[in-house]
């Protein structure tokens, strides 16, 4: 029953986050000459240049990333990503029909809109969802590099590069004011997201203390294709046990938590890692 309640609550938070994000984009950002970032930003650029339906552009651009994300991160992630994206696009359609005007300076409006957008996206990310393909793209690229080199990297630089390309397109195809205001949106939204997700783009270190490590190691290898560092440890009450250390990214963390939850008698912590040296 608790797991069912948690799933329902997660879905409700993703819905709330998607509605907040769509409200910010339609009612605050676009009227004040700013745009969202990531693949949603690409959709808005196409909408401004061609007049095509914005919701349709968002869906069409997100579909390939959704398919890749579902294949890489599992059906559970895919369902949550689909839920968030569908609600986000419905929200875009709804808020386009609602008269709303924020009578203030562009700078203040965009800063406020960026904060609302960041709050909505933080809710979605915190509860295992995703409505932007740039995070999925970064995840895929980091996974590919890790498989080829065995080295762990954070998503930070990939996301910065992806969004720099989006804002360069805004600068060249729309105007410089929109590009600068949109950059402000990114800075404000990213600050809010990082605050509430503890830097989702960084590497996460998962430390697991258990007496029965074999099944955990097997599942981590099978489901995440990750290995673990194993150390002998001793608890004042529990006595001898094993400590496992594994490094994952933010989107893999949900699956890691499921693996840990399925193995009783564990004690786990998650921390953010700035850099891994080899």
The domain ranges of the chain are 2-197, 203-273
Model confidence over 47-100: pLDDT tens digits?
989 988 988 999 999 888 888 888 877 788 888 888 989 999 999 999 988 887
Quick check: 106 pLDDT over 90? no
Looking at residue 134, what is its pLDDT? 85
Q: What is the pLDDT of residues 2-12, one digit of tens each?
A: 778 888 898 99
Tell me, what's the pLDDT at 1? 55
Over 70: is that where the pLDDT of 278 sits?
no
Average pLDDT value over all residues in the chain: 86
Q: Which residue has the higher pLDDT, 44 or 239?
A: 44
153, two tokens:
């990297």
**Of 13, 14, 15, 35, nearest in space to 24 by CA:** 35
pLDDT at 103: 66
What was the pLDDT predicted at 42? 92
Query: 203-273: which CATH architecture?
Result: 2-Layer Sandwich (3.30)
């Amino acid at each position: 029953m608790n797991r069912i309640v948690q799933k329902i609550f997660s879905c409700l938070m993703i819905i709330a986050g998607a509605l907040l994000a769509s409200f910010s984009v339609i009612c605050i950002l676009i009227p004040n000459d700013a745009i969202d970032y990531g693949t949603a930003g690409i959709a808005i650029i196409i909408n401004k240049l061609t007049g095509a339906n914005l919701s349709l552009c968002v869906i069409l651009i997100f579909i390939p990333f959704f398919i890749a994300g579902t294949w890489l991160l599992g059906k559970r992630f895919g369902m949550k990503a689909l839920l968030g994206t569908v609600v986000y696009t419905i929200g875009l359609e709804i808020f386009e029909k609602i008269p709303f005007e924020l009578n203030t300076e562009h700078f203040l409006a965009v800063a406020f809109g960026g904060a609302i957008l960041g709050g909505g996206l933080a809710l979605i990310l915190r509860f295992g969802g995703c409505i932007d393909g740039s995070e999925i793209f970064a995840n895929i690229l980091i996974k590919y590099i890790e498989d080829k080199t065995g080295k762990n990297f954070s998503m930070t630089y990939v996301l910065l590069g992806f969004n720099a390309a989006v804002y360069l397109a805004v600068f060249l195809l729309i105007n410089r004011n929109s590009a600068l205001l949109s950059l402000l949106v990114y800075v404000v939204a990213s600050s809010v997201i990082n605050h509430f997700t503890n830097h989702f783009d960084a590497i996460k270190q998962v430390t697991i203390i258990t007496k029965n490590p074999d099944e955990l190691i097997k599942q981590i290898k099978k489901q995440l294709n990750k290995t673990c560092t194993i150390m002998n440890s001793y608890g004042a009450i529990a006595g001898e046990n094993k400590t496992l250390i594994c490094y994952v990214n933010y989107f893999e963390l949900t699956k890691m938590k499921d693996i840990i939850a399925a193995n009783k008698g564990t004690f786990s912590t998650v921390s953010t890692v700035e850099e891994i040296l080899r």
